[in-house]
């Protein structure tokens, strides 16, 4: 699925109740992390729920996995991961996430706490991209 497909899917849904159900469906497709994957270094601060995002540094891209203990947040993670899927570090830094969130309608339809958590996820992903560009991806030894 591409981000364009997600935008199309969200636009076809009638109301926000349907869109929340769709977010939950997206989140249900994510694999759950094992306890060993739920490490403090991958935990996202600034989220009301517990959220983990693990980077996998590959040759030209960074791949991410994510999980949460909250069902709607898992759906938000699925959207965030789709935005950054199969992107290089520079592409990740160049993405205007706010524009995509606006097209999806997420900015105005999720709670301020979830929105702040979503932005914290994006900040952490962009941090990993910055580290990759600097050649300081020590996580690649652990997660790659």
**What positions carry a catalytic annotation?**
47
Tell me which H or E stretch contains 57.
strand 51-57
Greatest alpha-carbon span in the chain = 45
User: How far lies 81's CA from each of 14, 60, 122, 137, in Å?
Assistant: 24, 17, 9, 19
Tell me which H or E stretch contains 62.
strand 62-68
Rounded Cα distance, 17 and 56, in Å:
34
Rounded Cα distance, 134 and 72, in Å:
34
């Amino acid at each position: 699925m591409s981000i364009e497909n997600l935008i199309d899917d969200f636009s076809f849904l009638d109301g926000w109740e349907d869109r929340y159900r769709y977010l939950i469906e997206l989140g249900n497709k994510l694999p759950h992390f094992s306890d060993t994957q739920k490490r403090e270094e991958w935990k996202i601060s600034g989220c009301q729920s517990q959220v983990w995002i693990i980077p996998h540094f590959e040759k030209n891209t960074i791949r991410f996995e994510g999980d949460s203990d909250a069902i709607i947040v898992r759906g938000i993670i699925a959207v965030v991961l789709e935005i950054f899927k199969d992107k290089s570090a520079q592409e990740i830094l160049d993405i205007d996430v706010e524009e995509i969130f606006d097209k999806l309608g997420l900015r105005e339809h999720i709670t301020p706490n979830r929105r702040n958590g979503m932005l914290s996820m994006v900040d952490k992903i962009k941090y990993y991209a910055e580290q990759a560009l600097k050649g300081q991806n020590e996580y690649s030894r652990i997660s790659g």
